[in-house]
Structure 1
């Protein structure tokens, strides 16, 4: 997969000055952000954010977006659906500022307003490459090498290490599994749940042998899985001892779960068996 490129616009300010801007999506609505590496944090215009978030709530910010001016009063806001290109930032904590002075200048030259500033925080997260020659903002997708584990002569499993709640998890990549499933016992190292929270599930993941296996599920309010955030996600659990006992005999570390098609689709993943890479364009 090629690096993702997003064209930016060039706005001429006065005789020899320029601003560059890129179009992003806030709640699936297009928004124009100035690209400003001199701003320590990205900000949205306080007077225009209601167009994207009609029922927004703000908190006072203890931080200033350095580079934006010391006389501006900032506020914090969580944006649930914020997207740059195909890169999503779930529950991004944005800073709100009054950008009316900036838009007054723009109104002299251009009809369309500026909705915010794309600052150094997101440019760093994107590991962006800003090309003035090509007039593009470019970044690469996120890729993780997967391991090929031999479980028998001519029989192999694909493994990838992803982070769950900032802790490493060994996931068996299983495109034959309709849903992602975690080990009933090992998952507690990532998210602790009480036994009474576990509900019996009569609809196991298709592709997983269910004989003599008891499936259960727990609705988890918030969970980070690799580069995405999951909210109120119903997680499936099963005792994976039948797999991990085999792994133990082979001297292999245990698996924490099976990465199935539900999250592979959500991650917009691609598997490259030649380069042995799991590519996830939706990193954060």
Structure 2
């Protein structure tokens, strides 16, 4: 089944754009995810504890292009059910990070906050196609 998910193109600064997809959680709360094709792993804000279950026995090294050469050791969690439009997502495995610094940037630049980053693991799994002209992301879901 194909799902067409509306996206926003946020202009952060000169020639700097980010793609945002809105999600709905089961409690009626909306969250915004940055679609990050350069991220290998999907990330969720560890400060939003009501929306994930942590895997106490699993950690993962997350290699990022940050200021340090050392990999970042993160906790692993599973986001509780949420949906992108009509597409319901369950048990999405994520790296849990404190996203306060990222939200500070988005708040100052665009007046929004984000709950996570959709990485290439998710985009590849659902064979994502980003259509900039129509401002949508097409996801393919098969059971």
Structure 1 unaligned blocks of 5 or more: 143-226, 228-284
Map of 1:63 onto structure 2: 61
Structure-2 residue corresponding to 1:22: 21
CA contact (8 A) 2:64 2:71 kept: no
Instruction: Tell me which residue corresponds to 1:149.
Output: none
Partner of 2:3: 4
State the partner residue of 2:79. 79
Aligned ranges 1:102-113 → 2 under 5 Å: 102-113=102-113
Larger Rg belongs to:
1
| Larger relative strand fraction | 2
Q: Structure 2: which 5+ residue stretches go unaligned?
A: none
Instruction: Give the TM-score taking structure 2 as reference length.
Output: 0.80
How far apart are the structure 1 equivalents of 2:25 and 2:61? 23
RMSD: 2.4
Distance in 1 (alpha carbons) for counterparts of 2:9 and 2:136: 11
CA distance in 1, matches of 2:126, 2:54: 27
Residues 1:93 and 2:98 aligned together = no
Q: Which residue of 2 aligns with 1:268?
A: none
**Deviation of residue 135 (structure 1)?**
1.1
Relative contact order: is structure 1 or structure 2 higher (C-alpha 8 Å, sep ≥ 6)?
Answer: 2
Q: How many residue pairs end up in the alignment?
A: 138
Q: Secondary structure at the match of 2:61?
A: coil
Offset at 1:73? 4.0
Question: Contact 2:54–2:75 at 8 Å: present in 1 too?
Answer: no
Change (3 A) 1:9 1:131: same
Taking a change above 3 Å as real, the CA distance of residues 114 and 80 of structure 1, as seen in their structure-2 partners, is closer
Tell me: CA distance 1:141–1:50, structure 2 relative to 1, closer, same or farther (3 Å).
closer
Q: How far is the alpha carbon of 1:139 from its aligned partner?
A: 2.6
